[in-house]
Amino acid sequence: MNRTILYKILLFAFITASGFSLYFYQQSQVDDEKIREMMAPESDLPMYHFALIGEEMNHEYWRLVGEGAKTAEENHDVLVEYGGPKRSNLDEQLKLFNMAIKSKVDGIIVQPLNDQFTPLIDQAVKQGIPVITIDTDSPESKRDVYIGTDNYLAGQLAGKALVKDTKGEATIGVISGSFDNALHHLRVKGFTDIVEQVDGIEIVAMEQSDISRVDVEETAYNMLTEHDNITAFYGTSSYNGVGIVAAAKALKRENDMYVITFDAIDENIQLLEKGDIDAIVEQQPFEMGYRSVEKMLAIIEDKPVQDVYHTELSIIRLVDLPNRNRQKGGSS
Ligand code: BGC
């Protein structure tokens, strides 16, 4: 082998070895970076970790609550873990609340369906975890703040709308989302306190139903067959209107039936447009979610907070839709 070939081989070997060294050096830098990321100091994690627990994840109303909370999360150094049963389930909701306390989150935002939540709220607060109630209050507990609808006032507003729209003449069936849940109880109480004052109005039937539409339809159907003089329905939950309308249609009673229900979810708005629902009590679920995160931060940062923040309420009728759509950037 002559010298030139030998030099070429040596040069080739040198270049190859240098290439490999460079490659492995770069690779080790990448790996170091990954390890550094994995062992990232706590400061890279959001400063606070909140749990938000709602009634039913598979529901437009609760999706909007979650969107509000997530929007607030984007604007602050906080992680909001949002959870709840897929379909309304008291035990599951209590279990999630318990888990949030055990995992020592920095704050818990919860919808306390009834007084079974009170000991848990008190326990969390005793352990130094602030609690904000949302959508439904638990005023007898040690919760820090309530953010949501004034549910008694909402019932009164519904009662006044019905009295106005029916000109004080109606035979009413009331469907409550649940006789056990605080918010439905208040919505019924506010409503009855108004309509009972009017001579031409009588409540002839009052039933509770699961918050699902299928259950409401069956309940409304039975009420209508037992009391064929019902001319108006009041439903205290989002899907009540949908179920009532379906039952009235099945019995060919939709034309002379007045229906008022809660929540401006898409299906209710569509039924309002068709004239099947006459009025909707609109709540502000997005705002509840958004403000609950902001107020929780205020509590943690020792800023002054009020005991109660009531979110806006309004009655929507068909005539209000064009204006409402304009305000929301809609087309009509
Ligand atoms: C109530 C919520 C409930 C939702 C679904 C709303 O009107 O405020 O508490 O979870 O309806 O039924």
pLDDT digits (tens, 9 = 90+) for 207-254: 998 776 778 999 999 999 999 999 999 999 999 999 999 999 999 999
pLDDT in tens, 155-197: 999 999 999 999 999 999 999 998 989 999 999 999 999 999 9
121 and 270 assigned to the same domain: no
106 CB near ligand 1 (under 6 Å) = no
269 and 188 assigned to the same domain: yes
Residue 56 lies in a domain: yes
Ligand 1 atom at shortest distance from the alpha carbon of 56: 10
Residue 11 lies in a domain: no
Question: Which residues span the domain enclosing 184?
Answer: 151-282
208 and 301 assigned to the same domain: no
Taking the centre of ligand 1 as the mean of its atom positions, its distance from the CA of residue 61, in whole angstroms, is 7
263 CB near ligand 1 (under 6 Å) = yes
157 and 97 assigned to the same domain: no
175 CB near ligand 1 (under 6 Å) = no
Residue 102 lies in a domain: yes
187 CB near ligand 1 (under 6 Å) = no
pLDDT in tens, 54-108: 999 999 999 999 999 999 999 999 999 999 999 999 999 999 999 999 999 999 9
Kindly report the three-state secondary structure assignment for every residue of the chain. Answer: CCHHHHHHHHHHHHHHHHHHHHHHHHHHHHHHHHHHHHCCCHHHCCCEEEEEECCCCCCHHHHHHHHHHHHHHHHCCEEEEEECCCCCCHHHHHHHHHHHHHCCCCEEEECCCCHHHHHHHHHHHHCCCCEEEECCCCCCCCCCEEEECCHHHHHHHHHHHHHHHCCCCEEEEEEECCCCCHHHHHHHHHHHHHHCCCCCEEEEEEEECCCCHHHHHHHHHHHHHHCCCCCEEEECCCCHHHHHHHHHHHCCCHHHCEEEEECCCHHHHHHHHHCCCCEEEECCHHHHHHHHHHHHHHHHCCCCCCCEEECCCEEECHHHHHHHHHHCCCCC
How many independent structural domains does the chain possess? 2
160 and 275 assigned to the same domain: yes
Taking the centre of ligand 1 as the mean of its atom positions, its distance from the CA of residue 132, in whole angstroms, is 17
132 and 167 assigned to the same domain: no
96 and 187 assigned to the same domain: no
Residue 19: pLDDT over 90: no
Q: Whose CA is nearest to atom 7 of ligand 1?
A: 237
Taking the centre of ligand 1 as the mean of its atom positions, its distance from the CA of residue 232, in whole angstroms, is 21
Taking the centre of ligand 1 as the mean of its atom positions, its distance from the CA of residue 197, in whole angstroms, is 27
pLDDT in tens, 197-217: 999 999 999 999 877 677 899
137 CB near ligand 1 (under 6 Å) = no
282 CB near ligand 1 (under 6 Å) = no
230 and 268 assigned to the same domain: yes
183 CB near ligand 1 (under 6 Å) = yes
Taking the centre of ligand 1 as the mean of its atom positions, its distance from the CA of residue 184, in whole angstroms, is 9
102 and 69 assigned to the same domain: yes
Indicate which CATH number applies to the domain containing 180: 3.40.50.2300
Taking the centre of ligand 1 as the mean of its atom positions, its distance from the CA of residue 21, in whole angstroms, is 64
Taking the centre of ligand 1 as the mean of its atom positions, its distance from the CA of residue 314, in whole angstroms, is 16
Q: Whose CA is nearest to atom 1 of ligand 1?
A: 237
266 and 293 assigned to the same domain: no
212 CB near ligand 1 (under 6 Å) = no
Give 8's pLDDT tier (boundaries 50, 70, 90): confident
pLDDT at residue number 128: 98
Q: Whose CA is nearest to atom 5 of ligand 1?
A: 238
109 and 163 assigned to the same domain: no
73 CB near ligand 1 (under 6 Å) = no
Residue 131 lies in a domain: yes
Residue 12 lies in a domain: no
